[in-house]
Structure 1
């Protein structure tokens, strides 16, 4: 006989488990911060801020603690260090327990495993994500990573079949972390070259497979290397795109999100947004003419793809190798019409542009793009919206802005530089 109360009891058990899981998430965050304190190294500032938001959400009934927890994982993923990837995985595992059908949680779970080189487990989590997406299209970056991991596995499987006896060494590699599998694949390839020589057809095919595997380890495969017709632009090209056009730089602050300034923002010729931003037409406006993003962390190429549609995308970052790899992996075909080339990757420090020593690597994205636009000096109107309160810019950045402001309108959260 079916117990009519069974479903109710199960639902209550799940509800009772959630506070414990959110507390577990807070403990994981605390352990991450404590580990940095023990080593005497400061944690990534963006992770610390996300942890603060998460902690505050636990005591705020109207806040979405689940979303705040996922944001901790996302910021950890962007930072990219081993400890940060471990935190991202722990957060993702906790999130999948809280909401077993959350696309965001399974996506984070797969990306964290992927970042740790645990390919087979990452594919399993990505598979859960695809199941939840159902008839919708998966995110461009996830589809590309799934294809890349499958192609890497196929390289190992075909290589093992070329030399059945010794190939047994390769058969277990897909289940091992990439950091272990890649050196063993290299050693296997060297051994077969020494044993059979370069003239052997099997050796030649093995070398092709190894080369493909190494490229897929270094960067995700892409079906469209030309990025859907995206045009690279340098300094003169950017100047030409902005000449004579009014520009506003919009803050990601919550006050803008609920400001009701959307129509006024969309009246500018070029709307500039930075890093990860959200659109709510009534407050933020709908349009994005220029998107600026700064690469952060030790492995910035592992961050989320830049899928937001924009006319121009500027990617700031140093060193050059990390910048090249990140742009190859994170730019999405068709998501931008123009992309800044290497001459625009570090405008503040580049002696060919500003060459100002006073700004360090921690300079905010908003100020970097603002200083570049001010230097180009081709826009008849250059305004900031939502940067009127302390904390939106670093103190020295805010001082620079206010020293050059021609007008401040508190009612519109607007600072004019022209």
Structure 2
């Protein structure tokens, strides 16, 4: 291995000085030569990933005497092997190779992907997003770039976590957090943890809402450093649920929509209490928006996307068999599902046909409800329209603030019975 390594180092240095190599990537060969020299000085190479990188450099050296296409392919392979090796030195080599590749062929999507991954590995996340977006611009088949789309969303959410956390801190600590935007993952994790520990101690512990939110952001940040958000939620074992499937789900069954009011949660926690027994007697228990942490059962969960960046909200990690996400604009809806759904937290997810049932002409077609319509009322109107449930009741929605005035008026006009003792409204 030693003689072969030395011979390869000499060959790389010889190739990098030839005028003929000016046709393609002489700088990359010099960079590889410098890397090999440093590797030789550090002793025998026993790491299999570095051995593969050395072999790739050998292929690149041989390709420098061939046609430009073969050389360029060898250049990208070498950059990929450098990333696979995983060390800081190898990541910098990968970035240098990627910079050379994008300079040689500015419209190569593979070169921009390599550049984005190298910048990402070095913690230069803002530049990585720019490179990834350049790759997507050149990508003719967007469906094959789902991993890049998810990675961009993850990097943007990492930045959003830091920005929000910085706003909860004194100026000095906030500036320190913002400086972590382009820090290597290990350094960022350690510095963020130190700030959170100090702020938790100084702020009186988890009783402070700002401290609780800071810890939540840190937990989200740690998860995102370790793994990207889930892939397309309509794949990977999660089945899409359209209008016909939703009708079949509720057909002939008793359904109750349970309000997320604190009074309901307290009543439901009472062992052997009447409300808990009442709710458990339904075939389908439906909850909307926030699910109480100790809710005993949720068969269907519905949530509405709100705000300009709905994909940055908390993950939907409470377990339910079926989840429906309401949201009018298709692109943000898809992005929110990619970033906020948690694998294993649902078996079925409502598809695009259920995004906006109130104003969808294929369903209710009532355009005058507006964007402030509550999630519970949207789902209630949808289930009432489907006219498939054997029984449809509301639990706790007679309490103040659970429905908007106009929604409450609709419920009052269509209710068959209302029992204040049970906090139940019977619709059918």
- TM-score bucket of the superposed structures, by smaller chain: 0.3 to 0.5
Name which structure has the greater RCO, CA cutoff 8 Å, separation 6+: 1
TM-score, normalised to structure 2, is 0.46
Task: Decide which structure has the larger Cα Rg and report it.
Answer: 2
